[in-house]
Amino acid sequence: MPDLTSDELLGRIRLHGRIPRHVAVIMDGNGRWARERVMPRTFGHRAGMQSVRDVVEGAIEVGVGALSLFAFSKENWQRPKPEVSALMSLLEEYIQREADALHDNGVRVRVFGETDRLTRAAADAVRRVTVQTAANSRLDLNLFISYGARAELVRAARALAEDVAAGRLSPADVTEDAFAGRLYTAGMPDPDLLIRTSGELRISNFMLWQLAYTELYVSPVKWPDFRRGQFYEAIVAFQARDRRFGKVGV
């Protein structure tokens, strides 16, 4: 599409009218962005914090109901200890810096993943912001931290198996709805749109169950440079899709 300003893109989105209820984002490219500037990877992670703020504000402006950000995967624990420590510190810093603004803007923050692995300071920050924003309803901001989709599926399967073994369910009761009800995202609509930045063509063990019919949008822009305008471009592209969910189009 020709270069349009953020306001022009927002106007186009509102004219079309079909807004995704749930947008998921794989925030990729921080390390490469930093390396291009001959800086440490943590420099890229810090720069990406501004992108988070811009995309959250853009989601509110558009009227998205839920925004899910893949912030830290289970596999990321294997990175060098100084980088992991820096990421935990940045998580704590982001929450401390943004919590009041998120609350004032009606954002409810939820965190999904194996949060017992977080540092005490990061876990405390997560706990505070989730309590502070629990009653908000304008936007659900879901932060996936220490998360892996395969582990989530195993967790759900184990919960179902325990219910069957205890007699709370019969095998015939193990349905797709029953399984989905034991995922972190229980009660939440599946993502309508998945955005991945930095041009990579994979979903990296993120929301494997929930993404079954999600529209995929890959941006070549690395996460620290991804701003509201790029987010709006993804929404415009989504609005042009013909979503058939396996059915024959009209």
Catalytic position from the list 28, 140, 142, 192: 28
CA Rg value for the chain: 19
53's tokens: 């703020």
Torsion of CA 7, 232, 69, 189, to 10 degrees: 110
Marked catalytic residue, from 3, 54, 76, 140 = 76
Is 76 one of the catalytic residues?
A: yes
DSSP labels, 204-229: TTSSTTTTTTPEEEE-SS-GGG--HH
Q: Is 136 a catalytic residue?
A: no
Contact 19, 215 (CB under 8 A): no
Helix (H), strand (E) at residue 111: strand 107-112
Instruction: State the Cα–Cα distance between residues 60 and 76, nearest whole angstrom.
Output: 29
243: phi then psi, degrees, rounded to nearest 5: -90, 115
- Classified as helix, coil or strand, 168 is coil
Angle between helix 6-16 and helix 41-62 axes, rounded to 10 deg: 40
Say how far apart CA 90 and CA 80 lie, in whole Å: 16
**Rounded-to-integer distance, Cα 116 and Cα 100, Å:** 24
Catalytic residues: 28, 76
